[in-house]
Amino acid sequence: MTTAAAAGTWKLGDVTVNRMGFGAMRITANPDRSVAIAVLRRALELGVDHIDTAAFYASPGGTLQVGEGEKRYASELIREALAPYPDGLTITTKVGPGEDPERGFYNATTAGELREQVETNLRQLGVDSLDVVNLRIMKKPGEDSITERFGWLAELRDEGLIRQLGVSNVRIDHIEEALAIAPVVCVQNSYAVDQRRDEDALISFCADHGIAYVPFFAIAGSSREGGATTDHSAAVEAIATAHSLTPQQVRLAWTLNHSPNILAIPGTGNPTHLEQNITAAALTLTPEELATLD
């Protein structure tokens, strides 16, 4: 049986995790709560020791919709399925985007708003300290310094509410700003074999600084929050056919083969898709196949 360990490991700050992890954004897409719980538990059985989530990941499908009936929050499902959490499990979450009954979906811009979001994450996950918190920003060219916001999170880390820090949706200059304040253990950006390939320089920058690069939408591609794309390149399709794989497995294999500091976090609420994703941890592409995909 293939487990997440087949992908190898990376040092996420002061913890070592398997490079194949699990993203919780899609876990709420399954209307059957018991299946969602089973998928999370099965992920750990298959060696996953790194789960990515956020307080604003809610049904349906992980995309927050304010005022539309009862929501299932991914982090609450994680707590129900996995608490008390086993030793060695790292749960990464993020702040910046948030939910407010009056404002709806908003972006935190004050120290108080970020503290409130951290406390919401603590409450949903049922922990006293968050393993890793990423500052997720909305980029505005020329006017999007993260120094102040990242500094506020560093203060919460000093208080013991957060153990380690990361950043999301950022450029190299943002990472440099953050590193001047506190260690950065991971960077989460949108990236896939056919999307955002201008990120390659940023991935190398992260590798040189011992920072994990954690791509989201590696399977979704251009479908983004809509789930796994069906719009695959001819190269992806051809390699999948040659090896009797799914295109999604090829996309994940390329992701993991592309750089040793990349951590994959494919997400699903489907038990079969979970097994297929984990199997990709053991897939090795030839140099010729990698060159074709590149």
Q: Is 116 a domain residue?
A: yes
pLDDT tens figures, 121-177 = 999 999 999 999 999 998 766 668 999 999 999 999 999 999 999 999 999 999 999
Please give the span between the terminal C-alpha atoms of the chain, in angstroms, as a whole number. 30
Q: Is residue 46 part of a domain?
A: yes
Q: Which amino acid is at 130?
A: L
- Asked whether residue 5 is assigned to any structural domain, the reply reads no
Q: Which domain holds residue 29?
A: 14-227+256-283
Residue 146 lies in a domain: yes
User: Strand locations in the chain, DSSP E?
Assistant: 9-12, 15-18, 22-23, 50-52, 90-95, 97-100, 104-107, 130-136, 162-168, 186-190, 212-216
Flag whether pLDDT at 238 surpasses 60.
yes
Q: How confident is the model at residue 280 (pLDDT cuts 50, 70, 90)?
A: very high
Residue 150 lies in a domain: yes
Q: pLDDT confidence of 103, banded at 50, 70, 90? A: confident
- Eight-class DSSP state of 83: P
Is residue 250 situated within a structural domain? no
**Least confident stretch, 58-67, 71-80, 100-109:** 58-67
271 domain residue, yes or no: yes
Owner of token pair 């897939």: 283
Closest CA to 164 of 240, 253, 91: 91
Is a pLDDT exceeding 80 seen at residue 282?
yes
Q: In this predicted structure, what is the pLDDT of residue 247?
A: 86
Instruction: Name the most confidently modeled range: 99-113, 150-164, 196-210, 230-244.
Output: 150-164
Which CATH number is 28's domain given? 3.20.20.100
> Looking at the annotation, which residues are catalytic?
57
- Please give the tally of structural domains in the chain: 1
Q: State the pLDDT confidence band at 226, using cuts at 50, 70 and 90.
A: very low
Query: For the residues 85-109, what does the mean pLDDT come to?
Result: 90
Cβ contact 184:157 at 8 Å: no
Decide which of 200 and 196 is more confident.
Answer: 200
pLDDT beyond 70 at 233: yes
Q: What are the distances in angstroms from CA 118 to CA 79, 137, 170?
A: 16, 15, 20
Q: Find the range with the poorest average confidence among 78-92, 200-214, 227-241.
A: 227-241
Mean pLDDT across 54-58: 90
What percentage of the chain reaches a pLDDT higher than 90? Answer: 63
In a domain, 200, yes or no: yes
Helices (H), 10-145: 33-45, 74-82, 111-125
* Nearest-angstrom CA–CA distance, 57 and 53: 7
Mean pLDDT along residues 254-261: 92
